[in-house]
Structure 1
Amino acid sequence: MKSQTLSVAGVHGNTIVYDVHRPESGPVGVVVLAHGLGEHAARYLHLAARLTDVGYVVVAPDHAGHGRSSGKRLGVTDFDDFIADLHTVIGNIDRVDGPTFLLGHSMGGAIALKYALDHPEALDGLILSGPALMPGADLPPVLVKLAPILGKVAPWLPSAALPASGVSRDPKVVAAYEADPLVWHGKIPAGLGGTLIATMGTFPDRLPQLTMPVLAMHGGADTLANPDGTRMLGRRAGGDDVTVTIFDGLYHEIFNEPEQDEVITTVVDWLEKHRTAQS
């Protein structure tokens, strides 16, 4: 694949850095990647390589306050900032004769779902990987209710950290994650955690509005994002083309598990089916 790094102006004066990976021959469509909380787009290069191999242009931004993009680290306190920045990136993509799909992982899954609900006209389909759509069962209900309020009152206050051990069953992946200087290894600020939980709370009522084709995947042993959120999407989405796949025993980053080839092939097959259906 041929890669290029570009940037656009995001909200609050942030610079949003993104990569464009192009196939060697003429493109058949576009896949936009929205990464998860605390990480960055370059962790998906192996996925981008597979997608460009089958003809897709892959556009992969680093969210504000993440990776190479500017902004206070994990300093976003309004989830709509992520949506606005992503809309700017998508609007800056060169015209491609083919469909546009959005793929989001973890918090990026919540961003992708909200973007699809806010801007359905911009997409032809949605793919979710371990999306953060529902608080974990281990969070007390009172904390779930208070988190958005605390995020506004004391957005800088550190809350929980994401344990690297929950990322993958592959120790090499965990070691690389822990050694990556572009990955945030500290606690999640209350501002970001609060706006994420508040956004999760809007999904049950909004999901009936989701009518585009959807592929939602989750590791059955994911302890970082609740698989029940993906199951909820399957029940409540308004479209008749919704595929929910739970990979038994897999951890949070299903694209970085030992079974990653099976997972990526699931995505490629779904893309091919839906690309040809629209041609």
Structure 2
Amino acid sequence: MATEEGWHATEDGRKLYTKTWKSEGPAKARLVFIHGFSDHSNAYNHFFPALAARAIDVCCYDQRGWGRSVLKKSEKGHSGPTARVLDDITSFLTTVVPCPIPLFLMGHSMGGGEVLCYAASGPPEIRKHIRGYLLESPFIDFSPESKPGSVIVLAGRLAKKILPHHQMVNKLNPSFLSRDPAVCKQLEEDELCHDTATLEALVGLFDRTGGLASGKVKIGEDAGEGGVTRIWIAHGDKDAICSHDASKAFAERLGAQDKEFKSYAGSFHRLHDEPSPDKETFADDVANWILERSTGPVQVDGSKSKL
């Protein structure tokens, strides 16, 4: 496996740190991965190398306001409104489409909610290149243990109108992230996991979760390559950050020809960082779902398609 680092320039001149994990031989698929809140591309430990070992190239970028894309303190958590977040996904995807091998889009936590919104409203000329969407512990709603009070949310919305770029620290409870104490310690000590977001970014996050949880954000049956939506949602039933039940309910009402909701008994928020053998099982599940849909081109039959 080889890795490549670089920088992607968005249309407004912002530079975003990028990293790619490449398989040793010819890749069978390519995965663009969108990380979560207070996270970054280099914090995924075993997961990306495990996918590369299965002939899946993984392409990531540190989102605006996060990781190595932050070059000064005032940029921490300054990711902009939802429109900006989705435009950044489009900007990065334009560097990999059209793709000579099947292309998939995956998000974790906050990034999972963003990917779902992208599947619902991203530019059709980009989505037509995406063979499938994968979500790990997507942020569709808060788990009860982490849900903020309505007064706090309302106060944030009001303050956002006056001070949209005001930064707030919203520390994630490290013990909620994984059952592996070493992972919790690693993330708590990682200076790039800064737990800081602007009021504008937080309100955008609340709006996305509200739209997803309420059903206002709808993903059509033709959101992917060949006019077909293919989507896989994975969630641990002991996730104390993002709601497992909200993910399950979203999957149940999703009108897609090819969909699956997979529940991981006893698992916490970072399925890819759970103790062995669970993290290896999760990585294999992701790889298997991708590779099963990477065998040959999509054949179009009218407005639909089949593999």
Shift of 1:131: 0.7
> Residues 151 and 195 of structure 1 are in contact (CA less than 8 Å); yes or no, is this contact kept in structure 2?
no
Structure-1 separation of matches of 2:99 and 2:53: 16
> Residues 28 and 97 of structure 1 are in contact (CA less than 8 Å); yes or no, is this contact kept in structure 2?
no
- After TM superposition, where is structure 1 displaced by more than 6 Å over at least 4 residues in a row? none
TM alignment of 1:1-279, pairs within 5 A? 1-10=1-10, 12-70=12-70, 72-93=75-96, 96-119=99-122, 120-137=127-144, 138-141=147-150, 143-144=152-153, 147-155=156-164, 156=166, 158=168, 160-184=170-194, 186-203=195-212, 204-209=215-220, 211=222, 212-258=229-275, 259-276=278-295, 278=297
SS in 1 for 2:38: coil
TM-score w.r.t. length of structure 2: 0.83
Shift of 1:18: 0.7
**Cα–Cα, structure 1 residues 206 and 165, in superposed 2: closer, same or farther, change >3 Å?**
same
Shift of 1:234: 0.8
> Residues 10 and 85 of structure 1 are in contact (CA less than 8 Å); yes or no, is this contact kept in structure 2?
yes
Shift of 1:8: 1.5
> Residues 15 and 69 of structure 1 are in contact (CA less than 8 Å); yes or no, is this contact kept in structure 2?
yes
What percent of counterpart residues are identical? 23
> Residues 240 and 268 of structure 2 are in contact (CA less than 8 Å); yes or no, is this contact kept in structure 1?
yes
Shift of 1:93: 2.1
> Residues 108 and 131 of structure 1 are in contact (CA less than 8 Å); yes or no, is this contact kept in structure 2?
yes
Shift of 1:187: 4.8
Structure-1 separation of matches of 2:208 and 2:58: 26
**Cα–Cα, structure 1 residues 79 and 208, in superposed 2: closer, same or farther, change >3 Å?**
closer
**Cα–Cα, structure 1 residues 148 and 231, in superposed 2: closer, same or farther, change >3 Å?**
farther
**Once the two structures are superposed, what CA deviation does each residue of 1:58-116 show, in whole Å capped at 9, x if it has no partner?**
10110011111136100123022121112111111275422110110000101111122
**Cα–Cα, structure 1 residues 23 and 95, in superposed 2: closer, same or farther, change >3 Å?**
farther
> Residues 143 and 243 of structure 2 are in contact (CA less than 8 Å); yes or no, is this contact kept in structure 1?
yes
> Residues 148 and 195 of structure 1 are in contact (CA less than 8 Å); yes or no, is this contact kept in structure 2?
no
**Cα–Cα, structure 1 residues 145 and 210, in superposed 2: closer, same or farther, change >3 Å?**
farther
Structure-2 separation of matches of 1:264 and 1:7: 27
> Residues 76 and 197 of structure 2 are in contact (CA less than 8 Å); yes or no, is this contact kept in structure 1?
no
**Cα–Cα, structure 1 residues 183 and 215, in superposed 2: closer, same or farther, change >3 Å?**
same
Larger radius of gyration: 2
Structure-2 separation of matches of 1:278 and 1:229: 33
- The root-mean-square deviation of aligned C-alpha atoms, in Å, is 2.1
> Residues 29 and 96 of structure 1 are in contact (CA less than 8 Å); yes or no, is this contact kept in structure 2?
no
> Residues 28 and 291 of structure 2 are in contact (CA less than 8 Å); yes or no, is this contact kept in structure 1?
no
Structure-1 separation of matches of 2:3 and 2:94: 19
Structure-2 separation of matches of 1:6 and 1:164: 29
SS in 2 for 1:214: strand
**Once the two structures are superposed, what CA deviation does each residue of 1:231-267 show, in whole Å capped at 9, x if it has no partner?**
1221221202111111121111110011111111111
> Residues 29 and 103 of structure 2 are in contact (CA less than 8 Å); yes or no, is this contact kept in structure 1?
yes
Give unmatched runs, 5+ long, in structure 2.
Answer: 223-228, 299-307
Structure-2 separation of matches of 1:143 and 1:66: 24
Structure-2 separation of matches of 1:53 and 1:159: 37
Give unmatched runs, 5+ long, in structure 1.
Answer: none
TM-score w.r.t. length of structure 1: 0.91
- State how many pairs are aligned: 278
Shift of 1:159: 5.9
**Cα–Cα, structure 1 residues 143 and 52, in superposed 2: closer, same or farther, change >3 Å?**
same
SS in 1 for 2:69: coil
> Residues 151 and 191 of structure 1 are in contact (CA less than 8 Å); yes or no, is this contact kept in structure 2?
yes
Of Structure 1 and Structure 2, the greater helix share is in 1
